[in-house]
A and B are shown apart, each in its own frame.
Chain A
Amino acid sequence: MTTPAPEVLLTMPARPEGVGVVRQALAGMADALDFDPTVLADMKMAVTEACTNVVVHAYDEDAGMLEVEMLADENGLTIVVRDHGAGIQPRPARSEPPALGLGLPLIAALSDAFELKGSAGHGTEVRMTFAYSRSADPATQNPVTGNVGADGRWDPDADSPA
C-alpha cells in the first residue's frame, strides 16, 4: 500500500436498516486497503455490533444519529462508532425482545485494539483498530466467556447454557 485511503465519515439516523449500509461502506473501504478476508469478516462483525449498540441503547426515540468514522494509517484501519445519546447504560433504552448482551465481548474479541468512551448524557464512542497484518488472533487474547443465561441474556460467568 502506498497512499492511505481517505477518511470516511458516515452520518445517518440510528435505525436498524442503517447497520447493513455501514457494513457495505466498510467492505468497500477494506477492499481498497487490501485487507485479508478473515480480518474483513471480523471488522464487519465488530462494527455491526457497535452500530447495533447505538440503535438499541443510545436513544429513547428515533431521533438520534449514528456516526461512523473510518481512518486508515500505516498500521491499520480504525473505525469509530459514535452516538450523542444517553451514554453507557446497562439496559437498553429500547429493545423488544431483550438484546443478548454479547456486543461488547464480541468487539473486544474481534478487534486488534478497542476503546470505549462515554459518560451519562454525553453519548458513547467505540473505537476499534484492525491491523493490516495480525501477529495473533485477538479472540485468543480476549476470548468471549460465558454462555446464555436463564433470562435469555448472555451471562459472562456461566459455564454452560441455562
Chain B
Amino acid sequence: MDANPIVLDETAGDVVVVVVEGEHDIYTAPTLRERLDEALGRGGGIVVDLTAATFVDSSVLGALLDARRRAIEAGQGYVVCVGDAVEPGVQRILDITGLVPVLPVIQGREEAITAARSTNGTSE
C-alpha cells in the first residue's frame, strides 16, 4: 500500500482532479509530474487537491508550476485546492513563496472544480 498516493479522480467529468495525499518531495515529484501529464492530456480543466497532503517541498512546487504554465498555454483551467485545516508542512511553503494567488490556491474541492471549469477554454 502506498502511504503517499497520487491518484486521478475523473468523476467531475470535464475537470480531472489530481488527489495528492501524504508527504511529497523529490522522491515522489516524478510521479506527480506523470499524473499531471495524464491530467493535462485529458484536455479539460485540472484541479490539484492538496487537502490530504501533509508535506510538500520545492520539487512539488516546481511540478505544480510547470503544469500551471502548460495548462495556461493550452487554455485549460488549472486550480490547486486545500481543505479547511491546512497542514503546516503545506501552508507554510505556499505562504512564504507567495504562490497562493499565482497557482492559484483556493479552499474546497468543489469550489476549485467550479473555478477550473470556468477558466477552461480561455487561452491567453
Q: Spell out A's residues near B (CB within 8 Å).
A: 16-17, 19-20, 23, 37-38, 41-42, 44-45, 48-49, 52, 55-56, 97-100, 102-103, 106, 109-110, 139, 143-144, 147-148, 152, 160-161
Do residues A143 and B96 form an inter-chain contact, with CB atoms below 8 A? Answer: yes
Q: Spell out B's residues near A (CB within 8 Å).
A: 23, 25-27, 33, 55, 57-59, 61-62, 65-66, 69, 87-89, 92-93, 95-98, 102
Minimum Cβ distance to chain B for residue A48 (Å) = 5
A-B contact count (CB 8 A): 82
Closest to A96 in B: B30
User: Which 5 pairs from chain A and chain B are nearest by CB?
Assistant: A41-B88, A100-B62, A16-B27, A102-B58, A16-B26
For the residues of A in contact with B, the DSSP-based class is helix
Do residues A52 and B59 form an inter-chain contact, with CB atoms below 8 A? Answer: yes
Closest to A39 in B: B88
**Separation of A133 and B20 alpha carbons in the complex (Å):** 33
13 new A-B contacts at CB < 8 Å, known A20-B27, A102-B62: A23-B25, A41-B87, A41-B88, A42-B92, A44-B89, A45-B89, A49-B58, A52-B25, A100-B65, A144-B96, A144-B98, A152-B62, A161-B65
Minimum Cβ distance to chain A for residue B27 (Å) = 4
> Contacts A44-B55, A56-B26, A139-B96; is A99 near B62 (CB within 8 Å)?
yes
Minimum Cβ distance to chain A for residue B120 (Å) = 19
Minimum Cβ distance to chain A for residue B21 (Å) = 14
